[in-house]
Amino acid sequence: MKEDSKKYYLTSLVLLVIGCVDLLRGFLHTFDVVSASKTFAKLDLSFARDNQLTLLGAFGISNILTGLIYILISRKAKNLSPYILTIIPISYIVGFIGLRVSGINATADFLGKYFMLFYLLVCIVTVGIYIYRTKKK
């Protein structure tokens, strides 16, 4: 294994897995949107059903896009993997701040939030390991 490949092995592997997870999320948010909206998002579809499902489906499209981009980067540009894994939690923090500024209290009870917290934790821990290993040399 080349030295460069070794250096980015963990981050590119984690990005590959996250990319596959995003493809799964994209599938659930688009092709199985009604079931996902009830099971994971806990949406009340008794009002504005089509609007809610359309928004969830649009989110699924972006999950498919990010999933494919993450997989591509993890295979073709491994050196970008630690940066992408850093950008992911930063983006979610910016989004959370944006929601708060807009007056939305993101304390909703949906199962997906626990998954997303784990997803973000994996990104942060992986980048931490990468930084530790890089500084150690």
Where are the domains positioned within the chain?
Answer: 3-136
Would you mind telling me the total number of residues written for the chain in this entry? 137
Q: How confident is the prediction for the chain on average, in pLDDT?
A: 87
- Judged against a pLDDT cut of 90, whether residue 2 lies above it is answered with no
Amino acid at 73: I
- Judged against a pLDDT cut of 90, whether residue 49 lies above it is answered with no
Find the Cα–Cα–Cα–Cα dihedral 45, 51, 24, 22, rounded to 10°. Answer: -130
Q: What percent of the chain has pLDDT over 90?
A: 50
Output Rg (C-alpha) for the chain, integer angstroms.
17
- Judged against a pLDDT cut of 80, whether residue 39 lies above it is answered with no
- Mean pLDDT computed over 53-66: 90
Please classify residue 17 by burial: count the beta carbons closer than 10 Å to its beta carbon, then call 0-12 exposed, 13-18 middle and 19+ buried: middle
Q: What pLDDT is recorded for position 67?
A: 97
Q: Which residue has the tokens 């999933």?
A: 67
Q: Using alpha carbons, list the distances in angstroms from residue 49 to 52, 92, 111.
A: 5, 26, 20
Provide the pLDDT confidence category of residue 106 given band limits of 50, 70 and 90: low
- Mean pLDDT computed over 114-119: 85
pTM of the model: 0.86
Four-residue CA torsion sign, 77, 82, 85, 88? negative
